Amino acid sequence: MVAVAETVRRPTRRLPGSGTISFIGRLFRDKPLGAFGFVICVIFLFCGIFADWLAPYGYNQISPINRLKPPSEKFWLGTDNLGRDMLSRCLYGAQLSVIIGLSAAALATVVSILIGIVSGYLGGKFDMIMQRFVDAWMSFPDLIILIVVVSVVGPGMGPVIVLLGLLYGIGGSRIIRGAVLSVRENAYVHAAQSTGATMPRILWKHILPNVMAPVIVLFTTRVGAVILAESGLAFLGLGVPPPAPTWGGMLSGSGRSFMYLAPWLALAPGLCITIVVYAINVFGDALRDLLDPRMRGSR
Amino acid sequence: MQAYIIRRLLALIPTLIFASLIVFITVRLIPGDIIDLMLSSNDIGADKKSRVQLEAALGLDQPMVSQYFRWAGAIVFEGSLGKSLWQNTSVMEEILHRLPITFELGLMALFVALIVGIPIGVYSAVRQDTVGDYVTRSFAILALALPGFWVGTLVMVFPSIWWGWSPEVKYIPFAQDPLRNLAQMAIPALILGKAFSAVVMRLTRTMMLEVMRQDYIRTALAKGLATRTTIIRHALRNALIPVVTLVGLQAPVLVGGTVILEQIFVIPGMGLLLLEAVSQRDYPIITGVFLVVGVAVVLINLLVDLSYGLLDPKVRYR
């Protein structure tokens, strides 16, 4: 209540962004593990964005003299069977993971919002039919849908992003729908309805802002899920095709047979995936506890 | 109970119709001509005759709606999923041959998940906010982040470098040598069960914390019942019901995971069948596996719902 009174009295003092900064402060104070995850996520994002400057070599810079060199001062993480620097490849891999993770998770969130809000708000027959479709969709394992569709459309960055976005979007719509079901019974929604507000306006102005907490949490956890799914797909040779340095792809294909000679090839990409997904998960958990206590224990 | 089962089975029909539509449309409505892809990827030689033959074999020479009804009708009335394009064997037979292998792997992984996840979850809840709780919870999140295919790769590579030992990659059927078969399946099952056990552990912990605060637990402790008995007989039984639901929800994840592990450890189950079919663009097999997996997951969820009655006397089926 106090917070509400403050904003009403002095609305102009609320600087844009101050909410985010105080939120990060709360994260560091109340959730140290979540804050640790947040820091790693920021580092990962930084590596992804600035991979072109950070990487000492190109991701596909072949150097036959330096084949299968163990980690050294020149090559921090060693080199692969074509003499390509593993550190550079892992950094460019971060770039691909950032691009795929963020864009697929964003698409998934938009799809979840569209289905969840409309289905939850309208209810009735539309909701029933939509939910039977979501039921059917969710009874297929993610990876199997991905394999089947990629086998038809062919691998590539675009298809992988669109597919992962649709896949997680349809599944995640359940969570948004659940939140909408409770929000739509609030007095302000009934008030808007009785003043004759149009449906898009009610959805956009009244429902959406009030389901933002689960939306943010959903987005965060989806980034991790997308990165894991993408690397699994790349491992099966169905992700972004080589020579693109995807982390999953580096663990599969021709590199596999060289791992017995050069075990460092098996370590770096796997560690990258594990650390990033771990960080996103602990950050997502902390975010959920802070933003939306109702979702605690879900997932 | 009988009426409930019949009603639940009837309610499955719309879900199954949607599922079959998803399978059918996914493989057919996608840009690019399947025939061209198949002809080019299999070097058949794109002469007119083989093209017409292939179209007829896939039923692509007919309108979409009649294609669907012919396909769905064959499944419902004849139990037929068509024939493999390259081996000319029955898809249903092939799947029935592979299904038990994947089922065994999934069941073993489920066993691992429950045997590891439940006790650790209970421990973590009983010792809430201690070092032990913190360590187990961190490990659970780590287990979720570790990709199964990476752990599988490490298990293949490092023991072979250090000790010259590597897991068996020639599949031994259960009927031939049960012990060696189980030993062979144990490693993939452990890896597959790892992430699942973390999910089970987290949910068991949350539910135990909630149940432990209930009045009947306080009553049981107050009347002098041993803590161990209270936890096992009173708390755990009530905390486990959502865990059973979780098994249903995680079934698709488990099945998806088998694909990757079957590939790494060369286990000839449904996953490997799917991957082989994908590399050969054998669409009848792809759609067959896709559909069977979907139906299996729907049925597992039905069984999960029915099992509530056994676990919780409060649940009455009406």
Domain ranges of chain A: 31-52+83-298
- The answer to whether A166 faces chain B, any CB pair under 8 Å, is no
Whether A80 shows a pLDDT value over 60: the answer reads yes
Mean pLDDT of chain B: 83
Residues of chain B with pLDDT under 50: none
Cross-strand bridge partners of residue A85: A79
Phi/psi of residue A85, nearest 5 degrees: -70, 125
Select the highest-mean-pLDDT range: A114-123, A252-261, B173-182: A114-123
Nearest to B181 by CA among B285, B73, B93, B268: B268
How large is the average pLDDT for residues A112-125?
Answer: 90
Q: In sequence order, which ranges of chain B are alpha helices (DSSP H)?
A: 2-28, 34-41, 48-58, 64-73, 91-126, 131-145, 148-163, 178-212, 215-222, 227-229, 237-264, 270-280, 283-311
- Residue A297: band (very low, low, confident or very high) from pLDDT cuts 50, 70, 90: very low
- Please report, for residues A84, B30, B93, the alpha-carbon distance to residue A65 in angstroms, rounded to integers and kept in the order given: 10, 45, 52
Contact call for residues A41 and A279 (beta carbons, < 8 A): yes
> What 3-state class would DSSP assign to B106?
helix
> What 3-state class would DSSP assign to B63?
coil
Q: Which of B146, B289, B294 sits opposite A274 (nearest CB)?
A: B146
How far does A7 lie from chain B, in Å, by closest CA?
36
Q: Which fold has domain A31-52+83-298?
A: MetI-like fold (1.10.3720)
Whether A292 shows a pLDDT value over 70: the answer reads no
Q: Is A261 exposed, middle or buried (0-12, 13-18, 19+ CB in 10 A)?
A: exposed
> What 3-state class would DSSP assign to A216?
helix
Cross-strand bridge partners of residue B122: none
Please give the pLDDT value at position B110. 92
Q: State whether B278 and A145 contact (CB < 8 Å).
A: no
Q: State whether A273 and B147 contact (CB < 8 Å).
A: yes
Please give the pLDDT value at position A253. 67
* DSSP character at residue A69: P
Cα nearest neighbour of A228 on chain B: B147
**Which token pair is A12?**
């102009």
- The answer to whether A296 faces chain B, any CB pair under 8 Å, is yes
Q: Report d(CA A155, CA A164) in Å as an integer.
A: 13
- The answer to whether A266 faces chain B, any CB pair under 8 Å, is yes
| pTM across the whole model | 0.82
Q: Which of B153, B263, B278 sits opposite A266 (nearest CB)?
A: B153
Q: State whether A144 and B147 contact (CB < 8 Å).
A: no
Please give the pLDDT value at position A2. 47
Q: Report d(CA A152, CA B58) in Å as an integer.
A: 15
Nearest to A169 by CA among A210, A133, A126: A133
- The answer to whether A202 faces chain B, any CB pair under 8 Å, is no
Q: In sequence order, which ranges of chain A are alpha helices (DSSP H)?
A: 2-9, 18-30, 32-49, 51-54, 86-122, 124-138, 142-153, 157-183, 187-194, 199-201, 212-235, 247-250, 255-258, 264-291
How far does B146 lie from chain A, in Å, by closest CA?
5
- The answer to whether A293 faces chain B, any CB pair under 8 Å, is no
- CA A84 and chain centroid, separation: 28
Q: How many CB atoms lie within 10 A of CB A58?
A: 14
Cα nearest neighbour of A284 on chain B: B141
Q: State whether A140 and B154 contact (CB < 8 Å).
A: no
Percent of chain A with pLDDT over 90: 16
Residues of B in contact with A135 (CB under 8 A): 15, 18
ipTM over the 0.85 cut-off: no
Please give the pLDDT value at position A299. 40
Q: Which of A231, A238, A299 sits opposite B147 (nearest CB)?
A: A231
Q: Report d(CA B175, CA B181) in Å as an integer.
A: 9
Cα nearest neighbour of B198 on chain A: A299
Q: How many CB atoms lie within 10 A of CB A46?
A: 13
For A10-56, the pLDDT digits (tens) are: 444 454 455 778 888 888 888 888 899 899 999 989 988 988 888 78
Whether A256 shows a pLDDT value over 80: the answer reads no
How far does A143 lie from chain B, in Å, by closest CA?
5
For B184-223, the pLDDT digits (tens) are: 899 999 999 998 899 899 889 888 888 888 898 899 889 9
Q: Report d(CA A269, CA A102) in Å as an integer.
A: 19
Please give the pLDDT value at position A259. 81
